[in-house]
Amino acid sequence: MSFHVNLDRRRADAPVDDHLAEQDFVRIAELVNGRTGIRLPPAKRTMIEARLRKRVRAHGLSSMGAYCRFLFDQGGLEAELSHLVDVVTTNKTDFFREPDHFRFLAGPGIETMLARQGQERGARLHLWSAASSNGAEAYTIAMVLRALAERSRRFDFAILGTDISTAMLRHAQRAVYPGDFVAPVPAEMRRRYLLTARDPRQNEVRIVPELRERVRFAHLNLMEPSYPFERHFDAIFLRNVLIYFEREVQVAVTRRLISHLRPGGYLFVGHSETSVASALPVRQVAPAIFQLK
């Protein structure tokens, strides 16, 4: 009688060999780049090792090498891909990040959008947070627009938030955040648009229903050759994601996105990403804000 021993599995009390061999890092980096457009240079190797440990443990594997064999040699890739993307993508975001963008939106931006629709009342604006992460950006846009709409009653709005990370999309749809995380939200908006937990020990808030119902979240990989959304957006926010792409991918992604803008619509990018505009039919109207010609 013979016995097969799976040496890739580990005992519950055994330590994980948590270092990626160079060839395994290269394979993962090429996979992530090919599927998501995100670059993982060698300097990111230690960070990727740290983030992958939870996936190694989740599968009860003994090492990073065993995890890579599971991905590439044992047919685990497709089932694991969404989890891999979740752990390797960077999801840094905040409410009211780069506040000058929201001041522009609340001032000349909104006036131009409404004038372009040519309606005194009843206009419906459509905005897109194209790398929405945990939803903070989309809900910030919603707060700004709701405050304006309550004063003027000239328009309503709908916001689309998309992201490649399914974990972040679940977070965004739940719309619950630690109390400290919403500190950048102005006090009056916190009072009107955030619900506090009944138990003060939880230190959590939730976005109010009237904003949640105006924001829809959907999964999207920006590397897809086309996007399954209408081409009628008044503004698109694509901030602090292009920096993770190669130049040619930056241009291709941004071209696809602005094809969904109305004529004269706005594109908001990160302050370190403005060089991409030189390859696009847009004009700069404010720092890191561009208008489709």
Residue set of the binding site: 91, 93, 97, 137, 163, 221-222, 239-240
User: What are 191's two structure tokens?
Assistant: 């009072």
Other CB atoms within 10 A of residue 293 CB: 10
Residue set of the binding site for S-adenosyl-L-methionine: 91, 93, 97, 137, 163, 221-222, 239-240
Other CB atoms within 10 A of residue 72 CB: 14
The one catalytic residue among 24, 55, 86, 163 = 163
Amino acid letter, residue 80: E
Q: Give one DSSP letter per residue of 177-188, joined into a string.
A: EEGGGGTTS-HH
| Catalytic (active site) residue 51 | yes
CA dihedral 167, 172, 174, 180 (to 10 degrees): 100
Place of tokens 């924001």: 215
Query: What are the C-alpha distances in Å from 221 to residues 71, 73, 159?
Result: 20, 25, 18
The phi and psi torsions of 112 (rounded to 5 degrees) equal -65, -40
The one catalytic residue among 27, 35, 39, 51 = 51
The answer to whether 125 and 113 have CB atoms below 8 angstroms apart is: yes
Question: Residues near 130 by Cβ (< 8 Å), separated by ≥ 6?
Answer: 162, 220, 222, 236, 237, 238, 241, 257
| Catalytic (active site) residue 146 | no
With CA atoms as reference, report the closest residue to 19 among 38, 59, 47. 47
With CA atoms as reference, report the closest residue to 17 among 76, 57, 70, 71. 57
Q: Which residues are catalytic?
A: 51, 163
